[in-house]
Chains A and B, each alone.
Chain A
Amino acid sequence: MTTTKSTAAERVRAAAEPGTLVLVCLASWAVPGAGHLWLGRRQKGLVFLVALTTMFVIGLFLDGRIFPFDWSEPLVALAAIADVGLGVPWVIARMASQGAGVVTAVTYEYGNCFLIVSGLLNSLVILDAFDIAQGRK
């Protein structure tokens, strides 16, 4: 018997397979809100996409730095891990040689704050997408 997946709950159950779970998390990491859009949570997905991308771009405009993975400096390495949380915008910024950071700029620390927090917030968004895909929310 075939059934139409018309409700959010049914869509969630259909996405709960391990392979799909991994793909949802990867999509959510790569593009902020993509996991929610995939799972049918359009309003949430769009808000995450706009808000987190805006935060990241503002961070770059404020001369913030996208930190390198320098394991000899634990705080720098932690900041780098946080930055990676935003996925594709981070990759694009790295490829375009953005985010070098201007230490002497008045807004340098503000920029870092925007960049790091956008990555960390996207990590929470990924966890939320995972929970939704698991049927917990």
Chain B
Amino acid sequence: MSHFGLLLVFAFLVSTVFAVLLRDDPKAQLRTGAMMFAGFAAAALALAWLMYPLPL
């Protein structure tokens, strides 16, 4: 699996646990989990894009 694939799996599992911890209503859990997952993925892509020009 690619690095990005692993990141998505990690983000999915962590956002699932946090959403269920923080919210009691299933709809609210789904909404919070989806937003958190999207935040993880978007932040990773934004950081990758920002670091792309940097030399190794």
Give 30 pairs: A residue, B residue, CB < 8 Å, sorted on A. Answer: A43-B20, A43-B26, A44-B20, A44-B21, A47-B17, A48-B17, A48-B20, A51-B13, A51-B16, A51-B17, A52-B17, A54-B13, A55-B10, A55-B13, A58-B9, A62-B6, A107-B6, A110-B3, A110-B10, A113-B10, A114-B10, A117-B10, A117-B14, A121-B14, A124-B17, A124-B21, A125-B17, A125-B21, A128-B21, A137-B24
Q: How far is the CA of A117 from the CA of B16 in the complex (A)?
A: 13
Contact A47–B6 (Cβ < 8 Å): no
Nearest Cβ on chain A to B18's Cβ, whole angstroms: 8
Chain A interface residue number, banded: 20 to 34
* A-B contacts, CB under 8 A, total: 35
Q: Can you list, as one digit per residue, whether each of A37-69 has a CB less than 8 Å from chain B (1) or not (0)?
A: 000000110011001101100100010000000
Task: Name B17's contact: one of A43, A107, A121 (CB within 8 Å).
Answer: A121
- A60-106 with Cβ < 8 A to chain B: 62
Chain B interface residue number, banded: 10 to 19
Residues of chain B having any CB pair with chain A under 8 Å: 3, 6, 9-10, 13-14, 16-18, 20-21, 24, 26
Q: How far is the CA of A110 from the CA of B5 in the complex (A)?
A: 11
Q: How far is the CA of A129 from the CA of B17 in the complex (A)?
A: 14
Contact B16–A47 (Cβ < 8 Å): yes
* Interfacial chain A residues near B26, Cβ < 8 Å: 43
Q: How far is the CA of A113 from the CA of B24 in the complex (A)?
A: 27
